[in-house]
Structure 1
Amino acid sequence: MNQQIRKSPDTARGMRVWPEPDRVFDLRYAAFLETVSHLRARLHRYCARMTGSALDGEDIMQEALFEAYRKIELLDDAQALRPWLFRIAHNRCIDFIRNRRTRHAAEAFYADDDVVQPVEPAGPGAGRAIERLVVHLPPKERACVLLKDVFDHSLEEIAEMVGSTPGGVKSALNRGRAKLAALPAQPAAAPPHDPELERLLDRYIALFNARDWDGVRALTSADARLQVSDCYSGLLSGSPYFVEYERSELPWRVRPGAFEGEMVLVVDRQYGEVWRQAYLVRIGATGGVIKSISDYYSCPWILEMANAEGIYPGLLAGIVSLPTSPSPPPPG
């Protein structure tokens, strides 16, 4: 984060500032945890819509929270914590978009739109439709439309978050709204057909459900990375990942699925006689070898977001089951 974190100009307006005693860091950390506990789902929703992926949004949110935690001693105004977290997450999203080169493609698509007349929001209830379409906007317009029309921030608040001015935000907002109004209906994306990846995932699922951990490890590279949200980020070889699944008291099974146009693994948990989808696992592979595993077991907001009515129409309530080869019966 390159922006300077500003001190509160005064306390006469009732603004709560950090105290000076020795326990200042402990107090900041406690306030940080309290704020994060209430803000995470909302922060994830913003990152997911900025990146166009609920899973990428979760990864970026984790990075943003870690960055904020490392820099918490720089924050002098307790009331600035919430917008500060949004600003860090926003900057991380912009970096992600630039790295994926989506900004250039989006801006080139609308290169001729130099002057746009003001356009009002589509009206109450349009927020979810906007969320699905903002990915087609350039990053600044995307952020301004989200923060104003979905999250209901003021122009001044948005300007501080995105590093602009209220006038610049208003202009970006008008452009973004006009482009959204002109967009055609967007069909739900289907995952690309990748026979090699499908075979690898089928093999992984069969071995995983059979608790053949040596067989599962044989499918991964020596330097495979593991990320378990809120728990672990590092080498798979140095983690107790498979041991934790072996020790699990609640029966589980893994099956293939599709989420936001990407092949994923769906972990189901058994409650009585009923199996329910619990969370997603993302597998990254190169050359028929697994290079990364991202496990989202501690992120219930991802499925809540996917299953919310109207957010992912046509995507099997967010998750699509894909056919797979026969696997051992579920534990029980």
Structure 2
Amino acid sequence: MSVTSPKDAPGRGSEAVDPAAFTALVAPLRRELHAHCYRMLGSTHDADDALQEALLRAWRGLPGFAGRGSLRSWLYTVATRTCLDLVAGRRRRALPVDLGPASERAVPDNRPADHIAWLGPYPDADLAAGPAAPDVRYERREAVELAFVAALQHLPGNQRAALLLFDVLGFSAAEIAAMMHTSTTSVNSALARARRMVAERVPAASQQRTLRTLDDARLREIVTGYATALENGDADALIALLTEDVTWSMPPMPQWYRGLAAVMDFARQAPLTRCGSWRHLPTSANGQPAVASYLRRGATGPYLPWSINVLTLRGARIAEITSFLEVTHFPAFGLPDALPPTRGAGRHVVAPPGIA
């Protein structure tokens, strides 16, 4: 992303600021600022827009900043206010589990719910840690985990911002009050309410803690086993990887499934038998292991992007599968836009409408 040039956005003395110099100045902070925007907004695409707007605002306001205070603090102020403006005018982002009870059987006529603002996955491969106070509550990768980001979406904007700025980024209550044009008392009150709500929705053991108990070889076995089970249509192999209370959701499809019986009924009705021929690539999303699924409908031709499947683990088993079906997620992960056919790879079965 390049900073808009003066001729594109004149005013407020921005003509005196060299766009190239400003881009170089903010470059070390861009990745963590983008992650902050994602946490606030629950969408990589919204985070792209918010960061673009925030950097444009910052560039325009740079002459007024004139080095007063920390550049990082000032940029977070601009980014947070930009996100709060967007939060105020948009619906909160959700996952299917937020909208209603689980389905007990596979839903064959499942259709996308395009009227819902869906939470999206986050490509975290090069997520920068950045500086933070030693007493922050959440590691940076913990703070992009699906459960945490989904919980944030239930908070009002001011509580969301206070929690992230204090518990993730390490700003003081006084600094946050100045950023948000409010009092320290109001920040502390918002922070307390936000912590209570998040504690009710986020598991005590983060995915980062779970992943630290698994060695790399075991983690590869889980990810490879999931992909191979789907490619081979192997229900028994998939069952062996799942917890008894596993959930599977597929935004933008509103239906979701809980428990081994319901999840496997869906799996047998759709991805294991009737969707088409699968190929997969391992990736990482939201600080969690993930698998990119590519689907081929016919007997020949390339495999095309289908879903980013984020795996939530409990111990060495998969407790949640969140399959983000929008192919628009793929570019942000640097994934190829197609996979070539490979002799003997995958299966081919024609899927009925609405299943996949």
Higher helix share: 1
Whether TM exceeds 0.5 here: the answer is no
TM class, shorter-length: 0.3 to 0.5
TM-score by length of 1: 0.45
TM-score by length of 2: 0.42
